[in-house]
Amino acid sequence: MKNIDWKSLVFGYVKTDYNIRCYYKNGSWGQLEVSSSEMVSIHMAATGLHYGQEAFEGLKAYRGKDGKVRLFRWEENWKRMNRSADGILMQPVPKEIFEAACMKVIELNSEFIPPYGTGGSLYLRPLLFGSGPKVGVSPADEYLFMVFVSPVGPYFKEGFKPVKMQIVRDFDRAAPMGTGHIKVGGNYAASLKAGERAHKEGFSASIFADSKTKQYIDEAGPANFFGIKDGKYITPDSGSILPSITNMSLREIAEDLGLVVERRHVAIAEIPGFEEAGACGTAAIISPIGMIQDRESGEEFILSKNGEAGPWCTKLYNYLTGVQYGEVEDKFNWCTIVDNV
């Protein structure tokens, strides 16, 4: 076990011992390679550098109550990575390579998995990019797939306390028929200006309005939005948001807890009617939203009066994290036990 102050971990980069790489060249994928270097050597004309041929994933491994290590829904991340690959014409990563890379990187860095009870987890960051040279705009002939890890704590410094978010209409992170539904680096580049301004203005993240009509909630920073109202779990359906695996899981949990799930356009005008709201994602887990400011009108909608997470956010959070840490029965079969750790 590494000498790390586990309870003070934030969501950030911590150097670990190994990462895994696999190269696609001459029409096929090579063998997995283990590396202890944090650096990659990239051709200066790589399409990943010039034309944004790059996608990534994020998933977590948890040290459970029983000492076992659980990797949460990796197959969904694999499928999404390949949808991203398809969306920007990169080579898909075979399932066995994705799985073996994830298992190997956890095994080799097992001393970096935060102990049970600290609230931390091991974040896996798979990435895939065009590494072959092109100067004309076209897909590369060569690709690099790699996975590194970092032990992490909460994404928002508030942890499981309500955060403030800001609705923006003067920036779009994604276009209606663009790449918002896949996890490509360009979406994050497009979100930086709004996000940094939101931070400067005292908010944890921006809530992007849909870029076509500006009437509906799209993405909540690096997470999906959900609201609770009249026994319903309501979450946006939009072609320009990332289909979150956490949200997909919470929809099943919500139903199991007796909520009715609605996945549909969610108007910004509905916000004052929500009893609770949250942002959900692998990094954010569930981040309750206590206040939403509409930057354009200056209106502020209060969703938590006492500075605490509401009852439904708490139940959803306890159920989801309970499954991840092996405290609650994994009846959906979401967790894969990692061997040799």
Applying CB under 6 A, the residues found at the interface with ligand COI are: 58, 222, 281-283
Q: Which of 277, 267, 272 is nearest to 218 (CA)?
A: 267
- Least separation in angstroms between residue 246's CB and ligand COI is 8
> Given the complex with ligand PLP, which of 116 and 225 has the nearer CB atom?
225
Identify which range of 1-9, 143-151, 219-227, 324-332 contacts ligand PLP by CB under 6 A.
Answer: 219-227
> Given the complex with ligand PLP, which of 84 and 244 has the nearer CB atom?
244
CA distances 93 to 101, 215, 231, Å, are: 11, 37, 41
- Least separation in angstroms between residue 129's CB and ligand COI is 16
Residue 339, φ and ψ in degrees, nearest 5: -80, 165
239 counts as binding ligand PLP under rule CB under 6 A: no
244 counts as binding ligand PLP under rule CB under 6 A: yes
Beta strands in the chain (DSSP E): 19-25, 28-29, 33-35, 54-56, 59-63, 69-72, 121-130, 143-152, 163-168, 205-209, 217-220, 223-229, 232-236, 260-264, 276-281, 285-294, 300-302, 335-337
3-state secondary structure of 163: strand
245 counts as binding ligand PLP under rule CB under 6 A: yes
Residue 219 interacting partner from ligand COI, ligand PLP, none (CB closer than 5 to 8 Å by kind): ligand PLP
Residue 52, Cβ neighbours under 10 Å: how many? 17
> Given the complex with ligand COI, which of 91 and 247 has the nearer CB atom?
247
Q: How far apart are CA 207 and CA 293, in angstroms?
A: 9
87 counts as binding ligand PLP under rule CB under 6 A: no
Fill in the per-residue mask, 186 to 215: x = in contact with ligand PLP (CB under 6 A), - = not in contact. Answer: ------------------------------
Fill in the per-residue mask, 44 to 73: x = in contact with ligand PLP (CB under 6 A), - = not in contact. Answer: --------------x---------------
> Given the complex with ligand PLP, which of 246 and 287 has the nearer CB atom?
246
- Choose, by CB under 6 A, the member of 132, 281, 290, 310 that binds ligand PLP: 281
236 counts as binding ligand PLP under rule CB under 6 A: no
- Least separation in angstroms between residue 80's CB and ligand PLP is 7
3-state secondary structure of 4: coil
142 counts as binding ligand PLP under rule CB under 6 A: no
| Three-class secondary structure assignment of 224-278 | EEEEEECCEEEEECCCCCCCCHHHHHHHHHHHHCCCEEEEECCEHHHHHHCCEEE
- Choose, by CB under 6 A, the member of 223, 286, 289, 320 that binds ligand PLP: 223
Cross-strand partners of 21: 33, 146
Question: Which residues are at the interface with ligand PLP (CB under 6 A)?
Answer: 58, 219, 222-224, 242, 244-247, 281-282
